[in-house]
Amino acid sequence: MDALLDIRGVIMDFGGLRAVDGVSLQVFPGEIVALIGPNGAGKTTLFNCMTGIYRPSGGEIRIDPTGKAGRRIDGLPPHRITALGLARTFQNIRLFNGMTALENVMLGHHCRTTTGLLGAIVHGPAARRQEQATIAAAYAMLERVGLAPYADEVAGNLSYGAQRRLEIARALATAPSLLLLDEPAAGMNPQETFELDELIVRIRDEHKVAILLIEHDMRLVMNISDRIYVLEYGKSIACGTPLEIRGNPRVIEAYLGEDGHA
């Protein structure tokens, strides 16, 4: 089977700092893959390279949503990458705070809809149908993450855990084939984290998306991941099943060097 996402030797330099140093990583269709590592290891930076927010200094990133021909995406602008089937959430939540929860999700549909300026002004049958479809799909998505009662609530007023789930719903609305989650459990209480396990697995199964997630919560990572990559100082130091990673001496050392991770 061909990899859905294929990262080879990606490098990202910030001035003199090499934040990502030759990382290679694959995600196959239907997988849940975790990316872990101490603070400042370069995990978020790697996400930013994949989603076009940074242009990598070296290496190659390809995605292959159809399983036919891979496409190089490094250096493409973010919206093109999203249109190709890569969606993400942000570590420091980036919702559209002044818009309602529903509107946030509706915005996710932007790249799957076509109504332009004229279409919106004339507001003909085609535009209406598209708008209605967007509303219905956004409602369904909010229901899926358990936020339907808050559809008209302004996103900035939602609780932290709800905001994280709203980000997931918004990303899913772009109809991705690979979903990137950057610390989805951060700031959630234990009960919410517990429910998140189930949500992520359900999303994978129902939406047929592969998931790549960054997470510090080891219980969650060990529970749901098919495979785990470990990053330290920008380098990939280990890769394997949860069982292999748990017993890997280099990983234990990397984590023991750091105190207080959850």
Partner 1 sequence: MPTLTRHLLHAGGIALWFMLLALPLLAVRVDTLHNVVEWRWGNLLWVGAGAFVLTLLWRSMAAWRQRPSKEPAALATAAGRLLDEPRLYRPAVGLLLGAALLLPWLVDTYQTNIMGLALIFVVLGLGLNITVGLAGLLDLGYIAFFAVGAYCYALLNTRFGLGFWACLPLGGLAGAVCGLLLGFPILRLRGDYLAIVTLGFGSIARIVIENWENVTGGAQGIAGVARPGLFGLELSLAGMTIYLYYLLLALVAVTAFVTRRLQHSRIGRAWVALREDEIACAAMGVDVARTKLSAYAFGAFWAGLVGVIFAARNTYINPNSFTFMESALVLSIVVLGGMGSIVGVVLAALVLVLLPEYLRAVAEYRMLVFGAVMVLMMIIRPQGLIIARRKRYRAREAA
Binding residues (CB under 6 A) for ligand ATP: these are 14, 17, 19, 37, 39-45, 91
Q: What is the DSSP letter of 247?
A: H
Q: What is the DSSP letter of 217?
A: -
Residues in Cβ contact with 88 at an 8 Å cutoff, skipping those fewer than 6 apart: 47, 50, 51, 171, 179, 180, 181, 182
Closest CA to 228 of 217, 61, 208, 68: 217
CB nearer to ligand ATP: pick between 138 and 196: 196
Torsion angle defined by CA atoms of residues 22, 216, 225 and 184, in that order, rounded to the nearest 10 degrees: -100
Q: Pick from 24, 26, 57, 91: which binds Mg ion (CB under 5 A)? A: 91
CB nearer to partner 1: pick between 152 and 259: 152
Q: Pick from 132, 157, 189, 241: which binds partner 1 (CB under 8 A)? A: 132
CB nearer to Mg ion: pick between 44 and 82: 44
Subset of residues 41 to 60 that bind Mg ion, contact rule: CB under 5 A:
44
Length of the chain: 262
Tokens linked to 192: 């919410």
Closest CA to 130 of 112, 148, 118, 144: 112
Rounded least distance, CB 6 to ligand ATP, Å = 20
CB nearer to ligand ATP: pick between 137 and 211: 211
Q: Which does 14 bind (CB under 5 to 8 A by kind): partner 1, ligand ATP, Mg ion, none?
A: ligand ATP
| 102 is an interface residue for partner 1 by CB under 8 A | yes
Residues in Cβ contact with 21 at an 8 Å cutoff, skipping those fewer than 6 apart: 11, 42, 233, 234, 235
Rounded least distance, CB 251 to ligand ATP, Å = 15
Where does this chain bind partner 1 (CB under 8 A)? 51-53, 77-79, 82-83, 87-88, 90, 94-100, 102-103, 106-113, 115-117, 119-121, 123, 127, 130-132, 134-136, 138-139, 152, 154, 170-171, 174
